[in-house]
Amino acid sequence: MQPRFEFSVHATDGKARTGLIRMKRGEIRTPAFMPVGTAATVKAMKPESVRQTGADILLGNTYHLMLRPGAERVARLGGLHKFMNWDRPILTDSGGYQVMSLSALRKITEEGVTFKSHIDGSRHELTPERSMEIQRLLGSDIVMAFDECPRADAPLDVIAASMRMSMRWAARSRAGFDSGEEHAARSALFGIQQGALNEALRRESAEALQEIGFDGYAIGGLAVGEGQEAMFATLDFAPDMLPVDRPRYLMGVGKPDDLVGAVERGVDMFDCVLPSRSGRNGQGFTWNGPVNLRNAKHAEDTAPLDERCPCDACTKYSRAYLHHLHKSGEILGAMLLTEHNLTFYQQLMAGMRDAISAGQFAQFAARFRQDYLKP
């Protein structure tokens, strides 16, 4: 019988680690990359195709699903897993980031956030308790605490006040989640460390979260425009502040070289829209760096996009055909390149897991950077 939530570290190499999360809906191999299914779909992909790329878990978006089709409707239709035909674990974000980044006329108070929908201007309120309720209605397996995510370049006093309010919201999220009885008995709750780039605030946040107690811990407030160097500088200390026996999840990251650098610093889980969004826009990620298939130089190139990739886009079609599809605006171009990018990301995660298990992560990372970042 699968446990509610169990995390085990199988091997470490420096700070990098590989392990397994066991949940009632299945196992999640770490380091893990979660494709983003914003509106109950990974754009341009069928769920079974996403699974075939190697994904163990998807991310769903609380903000978008609460606005359309509505959490109550999803619940009436049997929950998010049945609704979108995905029977493995789903992590749902809390909605906080999207409220801050997408909503017009938002107002933040101690109670929560009131905002107008970016879709139709309708008025909504999101509090820690309502976020927990929405994620419960969706049937989420990993629920994220409700938090505020200020810009990394905001004044330090603003970042500190926001972090402390997020910690109070974390305690309310914990209470709201625990009141969910049947859902709480089969799901997990993650807290989110905030504090932008400041080490002292990150430590204060980590201590507050551990006092509340969570199944896993996310590192929030990064990849919001601060740049890779500043993000890595923060990741040099932030993951070490979190419990070693719990998964560490870096939210909203990122580019392939971001993932390698973050795993190097002790991170276990990731999500990002980049592979699917880039696929729709004609960019393919390869072991030799990103390729813009809209460029004219690919118009008569009969080579595969990536010789090392087993996906359909690489084994059945040429760069010239992929170029044609994207220049012509054909839907198949978005489908094939999204499938390729998600396959590449899962190959990258599998490669890191194998390298950590073999005690060869430093060599893997060096070889990856040499090929991927070559001038």
- Please check whether residue 104 is in contact with residue 156, taking contact to mean a CB–CB distance below 8 angstroms: no
Both tokens assigned to 103: 């909503």
Q: Which residue in 281, 284, 183, 173 sits closest to 220, CA to CA?
A: 173
Q: How many residues does the chain have?
A: 375
Torsion angles phi and psi, residue 218, rounded to 5: -100, 155
Active-site position among 147, 215, 271, 306:
271
Answer left, alpha or beta for residue 203, where phi above 0 means left and psi between -120 and 50 means alpha: alpha
Q: Which residue in 140, 10, 149, 137 sits closest to 74, CA to CA?
A: 137
3-state secondary structure 289-338: EEEECCCHHHCCCCCCCCCCCCCHHHHCCCHHHHHHHHHHCCHHHHHHHH
- Helix (H/G/I), strand (E/B), else coil: 138: helix
The DSSP secondary structure of 18-42, one letter per residue, reads EEEEEETTEEEEESEEEEEETTSS-
> Residue 97's Cα: distance from chain center in Å?
12
Q: Which residue in 288, 340, 355 sits closest to 309, CA to CA?
A: 340
93 is catalytic: yes
Active-site position among 13, 93, 258, 306:
93
245 is catalytic: no
- Residues contacting 89, CB < 8 A, separation 6+: 23, 25, 26, 28, 56, 57, 58, 141, 142
- Please check whether residue 154 is in contact with residue 196, taking contact to mean a CB–CB distance below 8 angstroms: yes
What residues act catalytically?
93, 271
